[in-house]
Structure 1
Amino acid sequence: MTDAGDERISTGIDGLDRVLHGGLVPQRGYMVTGRPGTGKTILGLHFLTAGDDGARLFVNLEESEADIRTNAAKLGFDLDDVAFLDLSPGADVFTDGRQYDIFEPDEVEGPTVSESIADRVREVDPDRVFIDPLTQLRNLAPDDYQFRKQVNGLTQFLRQRDATVLFTSQATERAPDDDLEFISDGALKLARDDAGRTLSVPKFRGSDTESGAHSVRITDEGMVVFPVLLPEAHGRTFAAESISSGVPEIDQILHGGIERGTVTILSGPTGVGKTTLGTQFMKEAAGRGERSVIYMFEENTETMIARSKAVNIPAERMVERGTLAVEEVEPLEKSPAEFASMVRAEVEERDAEIVMIDGIDGYRLSLRGDESDLERELNSLGRYLKDMGVAVILVESTNAITGQFQPTNSGLSYLADNIVFLRYLEMEGELRKAIGILKKRTSDFERALREFEITEHGITVGDPLTGLRGILSGTPEFTESRSPPDR
């Protein structure tokens, strides 16, 4: 038996390899557990067809070889180089009223089955072995002790032949698989509920792993794993410089703009101009050759591009030149971990320097949980982006059009380094808009509110709204020292 050392072999699933810090340790035995339909066999198919490190053996104890090959082909798995030991029950056991057993009466002795596996292993000499499901052997053993003894002997035999073993378990209330977890070198737990599919690693000898319930998606090409985002595991050096909006008055009230490595919340009622303001920062960044990305939870790309063009923001040209990416996100189809993986790809592989999430209410739907889930997930994503030097813009809609001032709906203000609010004002019978800064951690800012307009030429910001009281109520009044401005 050779020494595996720090060597790893791939599971065939990139996200799972990241969770396992590189993959499986060779020449060890690993259990995959989960209820029916959670993807255990699919994970095993990935394992069997990954890499080019020698022969592979599939010991099937439930589905027939023909059914496995058919189902695997539908998912794009090529099993031509995989040897089989088919120990599945034959269809004739259901005929003539005979009781169903896994094996015929003359085959039920445990040693006979073990010898069949051992003989096939000697014949194939596999580097990877997948047994699905190993718990079917429990029915052949006289008691749990003998079952554990046979399983332990089998896994030791396979390891002595330098094979890495993956086996599935079908636990029930009457027959839990805790004993198999003790015997195995690692356990991968698959689960499925109304919130989606997850994978966790409760045990992995000889190495640390990424903790948590990682999101899983079953596609037409097999299994994809999206690891939970751990902000502390990422970061890079960057210059904490200000990013200009390209509108002098906005830069003035922000004392230079927003900084790299900060989170900015743009809040205000629907239609007030939050997305346009965020995109304005991206327009200016594109002029410097920087890349930005917008994740649209509540609007489609065509509408966003058309609206931007109407206010002198060339979003379509920015997309064509690669300085802007616009991603539509269906919140009920993406888990937080899956969304975080999308963001990481833009930042780490395509060097996005500004990331805008539009909007927070749509992102909340992807959580399918309470408000604490929103805070936890956004905090993790925000911390990751800040540590990577990305300027983060979160767009949040408030409920009130006018009336009582409400900076945010979600209570996320503590996560923000900057809070920029937009609101409607009723002045002299007209509906107008104002912009103000509520918070800026990295520098001072202007306390005055200014009138905010979006025209065909872009964003314009007026002088400070002095001589008015009750601006935050949405229905300001002129003081005696100032008369209404000419329009």
Structure 2
Amino acid sequence: MSAERLSTGIRGLDTVFNGGFTTERSYVLRGDAGAGKTLVGLRFLEAGVERDETSLFVHCSQTMDELREKADSVGIDTDDISFLDVRAETNPTDEPRETFVADVSDADLVGRIAERISELDPDRVVVDPVTRLRHLFSDSERYREELVGLARHLKERGATVVFTCRTDRYREVLSFVDDGRLELRRDERARTLTVPKAPKSAREGVHGMRISDDGIAVFPALDPEVHERDFQPESLSSGIPQVDQLLDGGIERGTTTVISGATGVGKTTFATQFMKEAAGRGERSVIYMFEESTETFYERSEAINVPVKRMVDSDSLQLEEIEPVKRSSVEFSNMVRREVETHETDIVMIDGIEGYNLSLRDDRLNLVETMQALCRYLKSMGVTVILITEHDSMTGQVKATGEGISYLADNIILLQHLELEGELRKAIGVLKKRTSDYERFLREFSITKNGIKVGEPMDNLQGILTGMPRIDDEAE
């Protein structure tokens, strides 16, 4: 029989804890100043009020006015939450205090906290920050005994408890009272949440978090192992016969394709061909645009006979322009997941990887790890992934993919500028195809008002990838 769960009231945090906090348990919420501990505690209590439960907030540091102002800033209603002020300055240490030690009956618990607990019989309690209670007791040993006794007393009364504390003040004593532990972190780029200690059902990983005027949201780290959708492996045509010849029929459903090339070579336009064909099959695609506005994309596509507006209007294509530094990588992954699971999306394109790295509020390592997890999730869901990446060389030696991306790729398609006999031209070729053979020749590639044109194999050229192409007279 599974234990009863209490919703935390925070979107995503309940998912991390497989339905919420376990009832009649104690949780420690730790983090540095400004990480969001108090707000998470207040939202947990508000969620209880919304379910006709009794909620008690024991504040040991901030005033009532400060707490209400903080709650109002994110839309938390504190009107029906009960508060108990036990700040050190309002409770001098020379005042008599009773005990929460287990062998003392409720009748002997006449201290301020015990009286309030007896009066309210709360279902949910937050003590913020619990380490400030240390100042109310004569020594650390007494503090430890009282804290352990308080946690036990609240559990026995059926309450679910959250203790908050600063990360640097998490002492051994708190490990005796926490059934679960949450760590909130905030740096100049992002907020994150991890669960160092929790029931086995809690989701592991670094979870994204956002606190704004709209409230608090948690974005669970993707676990590709728990997501799966049946799909039929098959080749997806580009709609261009010569490209399909290069790819031995097309790219396979449920694979990841990296399209690499210098700026202006036509990577996004080329990738859109697969989505145009998907629309003809009645499938849905989405493009996450990190480096181009939707207006510019509309103009370019319509100018070369790619009916993007008609695709969008028919709901076969969704365009999402990603604003810089508005989301963490985990938040973006959850955005993609909602799209896929809500609309059964078939193709996801991220345009481009460099913009992804610059626009999302994470360090480089976390960006790479989150992208890897996202691609594994999409693959398990049978979604075809297209990643657009840019290399630095306009016509010189090519490095096709960036760090952390190449091993994800089932297919790597290269678009390359080249200068030949004084004329600037373009070429397309396949560098990798994991699921089948592919054509080893490069072909000339061009974008015209009638769409993309791909020529015959350029078998008379050598040295294109070195940046010094030359005509092989013997091949002519």
Q: TM-score, normalised by structure 2?
A: 0.91
Distance of aligned partners of 1:383 and 1:142 in 2 relative to their CA distance in 1, 3 Å threshold: same
Residues 105-125 of structure 1, C-alpha deviations (whole Å, 9 max, x = no match): 554635499722222222222
Equivalent of 2:440, from 447, 452, 461? 447
**Aligned match of 1:117:** 113
The alpha-carbon distance between structure 1 residues 200 and 376, as it changes in their structure 2 partners (threshold 3 A), is closer
User: 2:80 maps to what in 1?
Assistant: 81
Q: Counterpart of 2:218?
A: 225
CA distance in 1, matches of 2:456, 2:417: 17
User: 1:171–1:177: 8 Å Cα contact kept in structure 2?
Assistant: no
Pairs aligned (count)? 465
**Is 2:127 the partner of 1:134?**
no
Q: Could you say if the C-alpha distance between residues 330 and 108 of structure 1 is closer, same or farther in structure 2, counting changes exceeding 3 Å?
A: farther
Contact 2:329 2:370 in 1 (8 A): yes
| Secondary structure of the corresponding residue to residue 435 of structure 1 | strand
Mapping of residues 30-45 of structure 1, within 5 Å: 30-45=27-42
Secondary structure of the residue that 1:352 maps to in structure 2? coil
The whole-number CA distance in structure 2 between the counterparts of 1:447 and 1:219 is: 52
- The worse-fitting range, judged by mean Cα deviation, of 158-167 and 260-269 is 158-167
Residue 179 of structure 2: aligned partner: 185
Q: CA deviation at 1:293?
A: 1.1
Residues 391-470 of structure 1: pairs in structure 2 closer than 5 A: 391-410=384-403, 412-470=405-463
Residues of 1 paired with 2:39 and 2:327: CA distance? Answer: 21
**3-state SS of 1:289 partner:** coil
1:18 pairs, out of 15, 19, 24, with: 15
Asked if the contact 2:329/2:367 (under 8 Å) is kept, the reply is no
Matches within 5 A, 1:208-223: 208-223=201-216
Rate the CA distance shift 1:383–1:56 in 2: closer, same or farther, 3 A.
Answer: same
CA contact (8 A) 1:426 1:476 kept: yes
Q: Which amino acid aligns with 2:135?
A: N
Q: Could you list the runs of 5+ residues in structure 1 that have no partner in the other structure?
A: 90-100
**Contact 1:269 1:401 (8 Å CA) reproduced:** yes
**Partner Cα separation in structure 2 for residue 303 and residue 441 of structure 1:** 34
Find runs of 4+ consecutive structure 1 residues off by over 6 angstroms: none
Structure 2 equivalent of residue 239 of structure 1: 232
Asked whether the equivalents of residues 348 and 386 of structure 2 are also in contact (C-alpha less than 8 Å), the reply is yes
Give the superposition deviation at 1:468.
Answer: 2.9
Aligned with residue 294 of structure 1, among 287, 305, 326: 287
2:55 paired with 1:62? no
Equivalent residues in 2 for 1:272-421, closer than 5 Å: 272-365=265-358, 366=360, 368-370=362-364, 373=366, 375-410=368-403, 412-421=405-414
Closer, same or farther in 2 for the Cα pair 1:438/1:171, shift >3 Å? closer
> Cα distance 1:171–1:144, how it changes in 2: closer, same or farther (>3 A)?
farther
Match of 1:98 in 2: none
Provide the C-alpha distance between the structure 2 equivalents of 1:106 and 1:373, rounded to a whole number of angstroms. Answer: 50
Partner of 2:157: 161
Amino acid corresponding to residue 328 of structure 2 in structure 1: S
Structure 2 CA distance for partners of 1:478 and 1:71, relative to 1, 3 Å = closer
- CA shift at 1:71, angstroms? 2.6
Q: Residue 445 and residue 159 in structure 1: after superposition, are their counterparts in 2 closer, same or farther (change >3 A)? A: same
* Matched letter for residue 138 of structure 2: P
Partner of residue 103, structure 2: none
Shift of 1:292: 0.9
Equivalent residues of 1:141, 1:147 under 8 A apart: yes
Give the stretch that moved more between structures: 299-308 or 405-414.
405-414
User: Contact 2:39–2:70 at 8 Å: present in 1 too?
Assistant: no
Aligned to 1:197: 191
Q: CA deviation at 1:271?
A: 0.6
Q: Distance in 2 between matches of 1:471 and 1:27?
A: 68
Unaligned runs of at least 5 residues, structure 2:
100-107
- Give 1:74 deviation, angstroms: 2.6
Name 1:97's counterpart in structure 2: none
C-alpha change, 1:183 and 1:459, in structure 2 (3 Å) is same
Structure 1 residue 20 displacement after superposition: 1.3
Q: CA deviation at 1:408?
A: 2.7
